[in-house]
Structure 1
Amino acid sequence: MGKRHSKLAPRTLAELRDQTNFTVEEIQDWYKEFKSKWPKGVLTSEEFKKEYSTFFPLGDASEFAKHVFRVFDQNADGKLDFREFVCGFSIVLRGRMEDKLKFSFQMYDINGNGFISREEMLEVLAAMYKVESSLSNVLDREDPEERTDSIFNQMDLNCDDKLSLEEFIEGVKKDPRLVKLMDIS
């Protein structure tokens, strides 16, 4: 009886293979790990923050993890099912540059209105700075406010004090520091 839900249905497995950058074997491994850690089949925001923080033991990743979780949670129900989990990590770990840029844009676009405001950029950058001190080399030791101003001065081509997806993508592609910061190279 316990074995009934321990494997993905062949149809689901095939769909995930087509939707992600993982092999069938990798998806099966991810699923086994997911089910062993979260037997109910869903992961809450708090559980995600706790798990995410294990990757950054020297910093405080909880605020940054909140933003990552929001982008992973495609149906905005406050929980990640396996599909959302594996699709999110597929983009983060193996996505094409364009997909990673769109993911990053969604992370910064906190209110989901299709633009990044200075306040949104500042909030995410401040959270990012708490994650790990090693980011300071990439960030040129600027504080989050200085970095936000620098990014907007570089990317906000039409000077409307918000970044569109197009401005964001073009701006990141032109700045090797930002490419490294967003880990999309």
Structure 2
Amino acid sequence: MGQCCSSKRQQVSQMAGNEVRDLSMKTGLNIDELKSYYGEFIKDYPCGHVNKKQFRKIYRNFSSDDAKEREKVEQVFKTFDQNNDGTIDFREFMIALSCLSKGTLEQKLSLAFYLYDENGDGVLSFEEVLDIVKAMYSMAKDQSATANLPPAEVFAKGLFAELDKDKDGIVTLEEFMEVGCHDVIVANLLLANVAVDGIEEDYFE
């Protein structure tokens, strides 16, 4: 356990400048704010990660503790714990908090794109968009809500065609943002899996 903790601490302490800048862009926090949060995070969690119970406790400090908020926390933690080890690191932690907080539509879409880009190559493939749709279908509390929808693969093909503006077989961040920022229905589809609040129609007026 001590060796693991030491390894994690070393990994976190070596965040490069470009990583900090990237995190700043994704969370909307400036670098000084991130450094301050980072110092507190490592002081409280020297292993460099938090588990679900700790994350839930932290979020309660600035949110109501009602059933809706608890469900939102559970979903965001699950989404960012991509290797299913029951923990998230500092970078994931800050992005997860950003998803839960009130941000601009552009910030939320940017965070969603980062999340959906599973292999980190900076673009979305059809397979990654299909994963978005599959997750959306599986998250539907009322299965009748998806009963009249086409199979996930058919739905994903339509969504991918809409996002892939230049028809080159990939979706860039710019394409993702352009479509999401101009279509409330698509925006809510793209943001459904990161448990942020829905976008209202009047946002686009």
Q: TM-score, normalised by structure 1?
A: 0.56
Any idea what the Cα deviations from partners look like across 1:115-157, whole Å, max 9, x if unmatched? Answer: 1001011123212321223487599723321221111221211
Q: What is the aligned counterpart of 2:80 among 48, 51, 68?
A: 68
Question: Does 2:118 correspond to 1:115?
Answer: no
Gaps of 5+ in 2: 1-27, 31-36, 57-69, 192-196, 200-205
The one-letter code of the counterpart of 2:157 is: D
**1:69: how far off?**
3.3
The one-letter code of the counterpart of 2:29 is: Q
Structure 1 residue runs of 4+, over 6 Å off?
A: 38-41
1:86–1:112 CA distance, 2 compared to 1 (3 A)? closer
1:126–1:136 CA distance, 2 compared to 1 (3 A)? farther
Gaps of 5+ in 1: 1-17, 21-26
1:65–1:168 CA distance, 2 compared to 1 (3 A)? same
SS of aligned partner of 1:19: coil
SS of aligned partner of 2:165: coil
Question: Does 2:26 correspond to 1:19?
Answer: no
1:147–1:95 CA distance, 2 compared to 1 (3 A)? same
1:159 corresponds to: 167
2:108 corresponds to: 100
Using the aligned pairs only, state the percent identity. 30
Any idea what the Cα deviations from partners look like across 1:56-91, whole Å, max 9, x if unmatched? Answer: 8xxxx6xx8654335xx9xxx994246742442223
| Contact residue 99 and residue 108 of structure 2 kept, 8 A | yes
| Contact residue 122 and residue 148 of structure 1 kept, 8 A | yes
Cα distance in 2 between the residues matched to 1:162 and 1:106: 15
1:179 corresponds to: 187
Paired residues in the alignment total 141
1:106–1:85 CA distance, 2 compared to 1 (3 A)? same
Cα distance in 2 between the residues matched to 1:112 and 1:90: 19
Q: TM-score, normalised by structure 2?
A: 0.52
**1:168: how far off?**
0.7
Cα distance in 2 between the residues matched to 1:66 and 1:145: 23
1:42 corresponds to: 49
Cα distance in 1 between the residues matched to 2:147 and 2:89: 34
The one-letter code of the counterpart of 1:42 is: H
Question: Does 2:155 correspond to 1:143?
Answer: no
1:24 corresponds to: none
